[in-house]
Amino acid sequence: MFGLKTDWSLEVLPRYFTLEDYEGGMARWCPGCGDHGVLAAVQRICRDAQLKPESTVSVSGIGCSSRFPHYMKTYGFHGLHGRALPVACGIKSRRPELTIWVATGDGDCCSIGAAHWVHAIRYNMDMVVMLFDNNVYGLTKNQTSPTSRPGSKTNTHPRGSFLPPLNPALTTLSISNVSFVAQTVDWNPVHVYATLKAAYEHKGLSFVRILQRCPQYTPKVFEEAQRDPSLMLLLEHEKGVQADPAGTKIYTNRTQHDPSDINAARQIASREDVIPIGLLFRDADRPRYEEFSSLGADVTIEEKVQALEKELDRFAI
């Protein structure tokens, strides 16, 4: 109103995000699927770290696990089969400030996407890659995957798979410029959360293999380890995964493992008598490709046109 002293300044209060700010559509995974627990852990980490939903991206390929972006209220990209990692690398190369979560499966990553997997590890761009490993192609209804165990009966091997499975953790540890490899299990939500939190906090590509059960096709694949915690090997170290002791006290089989020792990490990852869980390897000093690929991202369109015309002028006759 005229004649009154009016202050038009508006105090903008800080934004605080709750779990609801990261919860997208209702998850349609089967009841009992381990994907539900992983989704909840990622949403909790986003909330605890107060990540802006508009600065967070979930990327996936094809498979049950790849429904992940639909259930995150952030930006998302549901890609083609095996192509989650090149999409994620493309995003990170030009938008390095974004937080990227990649959801991929043992078929999506280790079969059709194997070449992208190798090169993404070598590029070491700052993102979290979650490998949902249930030892089977679930979405396409029970086919043998690269991690299926010998004797596993599927539609493609009704008499049982006869080849030894691929070990994703050990394979990743053999790729040049690897910087973070961890392993956890879906039936221990405390350890899943702590492992993914450590992965998020690492600068570089964090590869986390999550052993999980498919309630429809592989409900018993890890049943023995679930019933007998002594078949698990908990990796402990001051630089490792710091999980709440209340969630890991059932594991009496433990070992001190320095995650900077890649040779020891490879030996542990190759063990078949136990299932190792924890941080296998971390090296935060490995080069990250987005530090190079993002150069020039702040150049304006006008500057790009001028640079292009200047380059073309070199070929004028």
**Domain for residue 72, yes or no?**
yes
**Domain for residue 14, yes or no?**
no
Q: For 223-276, what is each residue's pLDDT tens digit?
A: 999 999 999 999 999 999 999 999 999 999 999 999 999 999 999 999 999 999
Residue 130's CATH number:
3.40.50.970
**Domain for residue 1, yes or no?**
no
- Report residue 8's pLDDT band, with 50, 70 and 90 as the boundaries: low
- C-alpha dist (Å) from residue 289 to 92, 119, 120, 284: 9, 11, 10, 13
Domain that holds residue 223: 19-313
**Domain for residue 13, yes or no?**
no
CB 106 within 8 A of CB 168: yes
Q: For 133-152, what is each residue's pLDDT tens digit?
A: 999 999 999 999 999 999 99
**Domain for residue 12, yes or no?**
no
- The whole-number pLDDT of residue 13 equals 66
Distance CA 195, CA 180 (A): 11
**Domain for residue 95, yes or no?**
yes
Beta strands in 92-247 (DSSP E): 99-105, 127-133, 136-137, 143-144, 180-185, 205-211, 232-236
**Domain for residue 5, yes or no?**
no
**Domain for residue 297, yes or no?**
yes
- The whole-number pLDDT of residue 71 equals 97
Domain count, the chain: 1
Give pTM, 2 decimals.
0.91
Beta strands in 177-220 (DSSP E): 180-185, 205-211
CB 104 within 8 A of CB 63: yes
- The whole-number pLDDT of residue 304 equals 86
pLDDT (mean) for 281-287: 97
